[in-house]
Each structure stands twice: as C-alpha cells, then as structure tokens.
Structure 1
Amino acid sequence: MYEVGGERYVVVDAHVHAWDGSPHNQAGPAGEQFVADLHHRHRALDRSPRPIPFDEFAAVGERSLVTDLLGRGHVDRAVLQPLGLGALFVLGFAPSAWSAELAEGLAGRFAVTGELDPADEGGRRGIVARVRREDLRGLSLTSGTRPEARLELDDPALRRALGRAEQAGAAVVHLGVGAVAHPAAGAPAWSHGGVPERPTGSGRVRARWPSWAEPVRSGSALPVRERDARPAPAGRIDPGQVRVLVSALPRVRFVLGAGWLPTPVLTRLAQLPGVHVLLTEVLAGLRTHPREAGEALDALLAAFGPERLLFGSGYPLVRPERLVGETASALLARGLGPSAVQAVLGANAARLYRLPVPEALVAHSVARAR
C-alpha cells in the first residue's frame, strides 16, 4: 500500500512477468538476442544505479517477485502476463501454466492470465478447460511462436472461443500487452526507448558475448551465434479488426497496451465502453520522453477517464518501487483527486481481475471516480 499526502492507496500492478530466458531454455541465437535486448531496455527504463544483474533478469521466479515486487511495500497485488514464444524458447518464455504454479504458492497476491494464439485452432478448442484448470482471469492474444507475427482477429471462431472463455471466468482480453524489445511499426516514439533500432556504427548489432566464446562453426555442439541477428519487432494488429471484435463481445473487457498504437488511433477506440488501457509504456516513457509521454497521458485521461486506465510496471523491465510514487505524482499534478488516483493505481484492476483487496477502500474509490 502506498501513502502520500495523508492518503493511502491500494496498488495493483496489472503488468508483471515471471519468465525463464536462461541459456538452457533458449532455442537458438534469436532467444539469446531477445533476452539481451530486454535487459538493455531494462537498464534504460528502470533508471536505477543498480540494475538487475543479467543472470537474475533472465530467470524471474518466485524469489524475484517477492523481493522486488511484494517485498518493497508498494505493490499489494499483481497480474501475471504470459508470453510463450515457442520458436525462441524450448519450454516457452513465460507460459501461463508456470505462472499459475507461482500464483498458487502466493495465494491471493496474483491473478493469472493465459495466452491464446488466434491462429491456433487446437488452442481455441481447449480454452475453456485451460481457463478453469489454471483459474485464468484473462487472455492475451499473441503469437505463440514469434514476436513479430501479425495477428488476425476477424475469425468468427476466435470470437466464439473468447465468448466461451468469458463464461468460464476469463472476462478480460489483452492486446498489445507483453514484453517487447522493439514495439510494432507505427507505435509512439516514446515507447521505443531502451534498444537501438539500427545496428551500431560497425554495421552489426553488438553481441553481449566475448569473442573468445564464439563456437567453432563446424563440429561444435554449441549453437552458432550470429553477430548480426536482429531482434524482431512486436506483431501488428489492425485497429479496425479490434473495433469489430470489441463490438461483437460486449461482455468482455479489452485491455490495450498504451504503446501499441499511435495515441490518436488509440483514443478513438475510447468510444467503445469495453476498452481499457494499460499505461505501462506511458509511465516508463515519462522517464525518457517526459513531454511526449506526458501529452499521451493527458490524451488518454481525457478520452478514457481514470476509470478505464490501469497502472502497470512491466516488471522486471521496470521495478515498481519508485514508479508507483511517480505515477501518483503525475496524476495528482493533473488535478485528479485521491479517488481517481486510487482507481488508476489499483481499483480498476482489482475489479477487472477479481483480486482480493480492501473492499471498502476500492468500492469507495471506484464509486467516487465514476
């Protein structure tokens, strides 16, 4: 719980990852490059003199979550977001089954969301069983193989699967929510901070491994590491397809990443009452591009109101200890009252994901924000 100016706020971090990108799980050079670029992004966005060491960053489990997230006293509850990427990682990068296991050991502190590839017919058919087995509170629509894959959302079978998942308990659908080193083309400039878009001056992406660690290309049991391998950008989604999907599922709540689309395009989706926005990229962007990200935050507040915005850190990309205070200060500086600040910091997410928090505080905050 966070306290400022005599007000106490329940904090629900709606964007947290537990993943395994360690060498034994990397399926090849692309997996190693992905983790290295995420760590580069962490060092740029976290703005701490003591960034998370690479080995700890590559494998985030229960110990890291308790120490950095819950142990600092600012975050009360959190939502674990999945990310499979089966082409880059042997056992998956952040599979929902692992998240469910972690959440079971920390009862009541985490909500677990699942992953659904719109192109995976088998995954659609078994979604109800997965939702009930893992107690999934939401689903992320992502490619289960590679981060750059384009997602097609106009399949009627997908709409039927999401409708069945909502009836089973997963009433939230995420789009553009996940750990990416390079956002999709057309995303706001402030969401790109952390990883260079182009190779370094030598014409190649700088490898993090030393020259003496290069394996022999012939006869070696080690994977061949391409020095000029580039990380893939995030996959693209057609906003028109999103509008049709949201309109067809009025009982489902859609949570969109703030850095996934240009802000003017994203704000036009505010006309749909089922659309919410996760502020992860905006809050990190306030550190690297304060003017541009501040303008985006103002536009999102005007379009969606505080009752449809969610706090998220993207942990471990950004540790939430200081970010919570920065977010509260930014909202209060824009004239929002304590009830609206409470809605953004935790009340909205607690309602969407059915997380146990002090009922009197959250109910009071939501009613006043509305």
Structure 2
Amino acid sequence: MFGIASERYVVVDAQVHAWDGSPHNQAGPSGEAFVAELYRRHRLLDRVPRPLPADEFARVTEAGLSADVLDGCVDRAVLQPVSLDDLFVLGFSPTAWHAELAEQLPGRFVLTGELDPGLGSAGARGLAARVRNGDLRGLHLAPTRRPGGWLGLGEAWLRRVLARCEQSGATVAHLGVGPSAPRGPGCPDWATPPPAGGAAMATGPRWPQWAHPVRAGSALPVRARAARSAARTGFDPAELRELARALPRVQFVLGAGCLPTAQLYRLARLPNVHVLLTDLLAGLRVRPLEAARALGSLLEAFGGHRLLFGSGYPLVRPDRLVEEFVTFRYPEVLRGEFPEIDHATRQAILGGNAARLYRISLPSWMAVPPLARHPGAGS
C-alpha cells in the first residue's frame, strides 16, 4: 500500500514480468540482441537511483521481485507471460515459472496465460482446461511475434477460444501489451524511448534478426516468407471492434502505445475495452508534455474507471512510477485543457480497476464501480 499525506492507495501492478534472458537460456545471437534492446530501454526509462545491473535485469529472481516490487508499494502483481521459444531455450517468461513463484509467495500474484500466434488454432487446444487448472485470470495475445506467425483477430476459432476461456475464468485478454509488442506506423513518439544521447542508433537492429532463427541444438532454415510477414505489426482495430462486440463478457486491455492515438480513442466507445498505461507512465519522464497530453485525452475518452497502472517490471521499477503518478500535475500549458486528476481517479487507476478485472478483494474503504457491460449482454 502506498500512502502520501492523508491519502492511501492499494496498488495492483497489471504488468510484471519474471523472465530469464541470461546467456545460458539464449538460443543464439537473436536472443542476446533481444535482451540487449530491453536493457537499453531499461537504462533510459529507469535511471533513478541507478539502473539494475545487467545480470539482475536479464534474469528476474524471487529475491529481485520481493525487493523491487512486493516489498515496495505494490500489493498485488499480475504476471504476464512471454514465451519467445524461438529466442530462448526454455522460454523467456512462461506461465509455469509464474506458477512456481505464486506458490513461493502466496497471495501476491495473479497468473495469466498466453496464446501464441505462431501456433494458430492448434496452440489453443486445451487452453480452457489450463485456465481452470491454473486459475489463470487473463490471456496475453501477441497478434504478431515472428515472420511465420500472424494472429488475425477476425479468426472464428479465436472467438470460440476466448469465449471458452472466459467461461473457465480468464475474463481478460491483453493485446499490444508486453516487452515484445511491436509498434506500428503512426504510434505516438512517447511510446518508444529515444536512443541514448538523442542520436539514432548506429549499430545493430532494434529487434531480433529473424532472418536467422535458431533453436537449441539446431539451426533452422530461413523462412521463405519472412520479409513479407515481418512488415505486419500490431492488429486491425476494425477486427478488434467486431471481436469486442461479439464477446461483451471479455475485457480487452490494450497497451497505451500499441495504436495511433486517434484510433485508440475511438475504441473507447466499446465499454469492455481498457488501456494499460505502462508505456505512457514511463513516457512522462522522457517526453513529459506529449505523454501528459495523451494521458489527459485518454482520461477524457475512457474515464478513470478503464485505465490501469502497470510498470512493465523489470523495465521500470514500480515505486517511482506510483509516486510520480500520485503527485502528477499537468504542465502549465495544459492546465486549461484538462482538469486535474482527483484522488478517487488515482485510486481507481493504481489498483481499483485492475482489482475489479482480476477479481482481487479490496479493503472496505476502497469502493470501485462495477464493470460496464453492453446493453443486452446479460448478467
């Protein structure tokens, strides 16, 4: 719990990763490049008091989670899985590791599952049973991750899978959330931190070189259609609108920087679409004016009851983000454009909204409005 003056806040971090990107788990140079890019972003976004050492960042441990997240201001954390088995021998951040952490630190974590776009409908077999057995309360969908894997949100099988998983307990679906979420054209500048010193990155690609996929023990041939597929990023907002209307009981959570800002605002018309502020809160430090304007516009479009706090740990340690958000005031040039954020809205964003989505009990003094539903959706 975080407190300042007479105000109290229950904090639910809706995006935490427990990954292993250490050298022994990297399946070739692409895994190394992926971790190096994440660490570059960490050094830009989390500079105070000092960045994590490279080895501690590459491999998140129980001790690190306890010291940086749970022993700070975070009451509950939602663990987001990212397998990336093309880049890492044992997977980057699979759900099985999260389940072990939840057993070691009971009552502190919420578990979510993952739907891999590279496996298609075959990879979703038995997913509803895994949701029930593992008490998974959400699913992470990366619409694209590798050249051979594109997940169209208009697929009929995806609609059936999400409906079955919702009935089994996974009522939240994450899109464009995670350290590997690609940025499509037109996405806001604050969503991607600039290279150190403001100069363009002169050496190495931003993301892994998919032209040379490597698995443990064998080098796979280059995929023939890699160049064509690699150009596709993000997801189609029109397909998301149709999916959200067809599944009103599923709560869709989007990354604040996953779409061009104007497209994201239009999705606010759907009452089961929410926004995770991880990228935006980190951007308040590197591009304060642009990120503050985006925050005010998101509050106008979605309201305070559909925005969620997330740190992306270990990309950014949550304590600083919580303190900066609680004390946040709009820059002077924006104060006539947006009203200041009140205590109830900050309370909802920091913990109340995520607690409602993930069915986390809250203290009696913290009242949060119920989820909005489509007309005729039923109870």
Give the TM-score normalised by structure 1.
0.86
Matching residue of 2:226: none
Residue of structure 2 in register with 1:361 after alignment: 365
2:15 alignment partner in structure 1:
15
Deviation per CA, 1:281-331, whole angstroms, max 9, x where unpaired?
A: 110010000011111101100000000000011110000111101111226
Relative to structure 1, is the Cα distance of residues 144 and 131 closer, same or farther in structure 2, using a 3 angstrom cutoff? farther
Quote how far apart the aligned CAs of 1:341 are: 1.2
Instruction: Give the RMSD, CA atoms, in angstroms.
Output: 2.6
Q: Distance in 2 between matches of 1:222 and 1:164?
A: 36
Q: Contact 1:43–1:194 (CA<8 Å) still a contact in 2?
A: no
Which digits, 9 at most, give the CA deviation of each residue in 1:247-281, with x for residues without a partner?
A: 11011100000010111110100000000000001
Aligned residue for 1:28? 28
Alignment partners' CA distance in 1, 2:250 and 2:327? 31
Name the counterpart of 1:177.
Answer: 177
Of the structure 1 ranges 266-275 and 328-337, higher mean CA displacement relative to structure 2 is found in 328-337
- Match of 2:328, SS state, is helix
**Of residues 326, 330, 341 in structure 1, which corresponds to 2:346?**
341
The residue aligned with 1:319 is: 317
Structure 1 contact 37–181 (Cα < 8 Å) conserved: no
Partner amino acid, structure 2, of 1:308 = R
Q: 3-state SS of the aligned residue for 1:277?
A: strand
1:295 maps to what in 2? 293
Q: What displacement does 1:355 show?
A: 2.0
Give how far 1:61 is off: 2.2
Q: In structure 2, how many angstroms separate the alpha carbons of the residues matched to 1:8 and 1:157?
A: 44
Distance of 1:129 and 1:42 partners within structure 2: 36
CA distance in 1, matches of 2:186, 2:33: 23
User: For the Cα contact (< 8 Å) 2:143–2:234, is it kept in 1?
Assistant: no
Does residue 97 in structure 1 map to residue 96 in structure 2? yes
CA distance in 1, matches of 2:317, 2:46: 6
Residues 146 and 24 of structure 1: CA distance in aligned 2, closer, same or farther (over 3 Å): farther
Instruction: Report the alpha carbon displacement of residue 109 of structure 1 after superposing the two structures with TM.
Output: 0.8
Superposition deviation, residue 181 in structure 1? 8.0
In the TM superposition, residue 96 of structure 1 has moved relative to its aligned partner by 1.2
Q: Would you say the 8 A contact 2:182–2:258 is kept in 1?
A: no
Q: Secondary structure at the match of 2:112?
A: strand
* Kept after mapping to 2: 8 A contact 1:140/1:173: yes
Q: Distance in 2 between matches of 1:234 and 1:18?
A: 28
Other-structure match for 1:109: 108
| Other structure's SS at 1:139 match | strand
Q: Pick closer, same or farther for the CA change 1:301–1:185 going to 2, 3 Å.
A: same
Secondary structure (helix, strand or coil) at the match of 2:275 reads strand
Q: Which segment is superposed worse, 275-284 or 330-339? A: 330-339
Counterpart residue number, 1:286: 284
In the other structure, the counterpart of 2:373 is none
Note the alpha carbon deviations across 1:16-57, whole angstroms, 9 max, x for none. Answer: 100010111111111100001100100000122411000010
Instruction: Give CA deviations for 1:187-230 in whole Å, capped at 9, x if unaligned.
Output: 211111055799744xx3299xxxxxxxxxxxxx999xxxxxxx
Aligned to 1:62: 62
Q: Within 5 A, what are the aligned runs for 1:1-370?
A: 1-72=1-72, 74-118=73-117, 119-142=119-142, 146=146, 149-180=149-180, 183-195=183-195, 200-201=201-202, 204-205=203-204, 235-330=233-328, 334-358=339-363, 360-362=364-366, 364-366=367-369
**1:142–1:198 CA distance, 2 compared to 1 (3 A):** farther
The CA deviation at 1:111 is: 0.3
Helix, strand or coil at the partner of 2:252: strand
- Structure 2: how far apart are the matches of 1:206 and 1:251? 40
SS at match of 2:67: helix
2: CA distance, partners of 1:200 / 1:142: 26
Range with greater deviation from structure 2 (97-106 or 342-351): 97-106
- Which amino acid in 2 is paired with 1:66? S
Q: In 2 relative to 1, CA 127–141 (structure 1 residues): closer, same or farther, beyond 3 Å?
A: same
Q: Which moved more, 1:306-315 or 1:90-99?
A: 90-99
Q: After TM superposition, where is structure 1 displaced by more than 6 Å over at least 4 residues in a row?
A: 196-199
- Residue 228 of structure 1 is matched in structure 2 by none
Q: What is the one-letter code of the residue matched to 2:253? A: V
Equivalent-residue separation in structure 2 for 1:181 and 1:40 (angstroms): 16
User: Deviation per CA, 1:329-360, whole angstroms, max 9, x where unpaired?
Assistant: 226984232221110010000111112332x1
- Distance in 2 (CA, whole Å) between partners of 1:328 and 1:67 is 21
- Following superposition, the deviation at residue 239 of structure 1 comes to 0.9
2:87 partner letter: L
Q: Give the residue type in structure 2 aligned to 1:100.
A: A
Q: Structure 2 counterpart of 1:243, which letter?
A: R
How many Å separate the matches in 2 of 1:342 and 1:43? 29
- Offset from partner CA, 1:50-100 (integer Å, 9 cap, x none): 11000010001211110100112x111110011111111111111112112
SS at match of 1:52: coil
In structure 2, C-alpha distance between the alignment counterparts of 1:192 and 1:309, rounded to whole Å:
20
Q: Please report how far the alpha carbon of residue 145 of structure 1 lies from its aligned counterpart in structure 2 after TM superposition.
A: 5.9
Amino acid at match of 1:296: A
The whole-number CA distance in structure 1 between the counterparts of 2:145 and 2:303 is 35
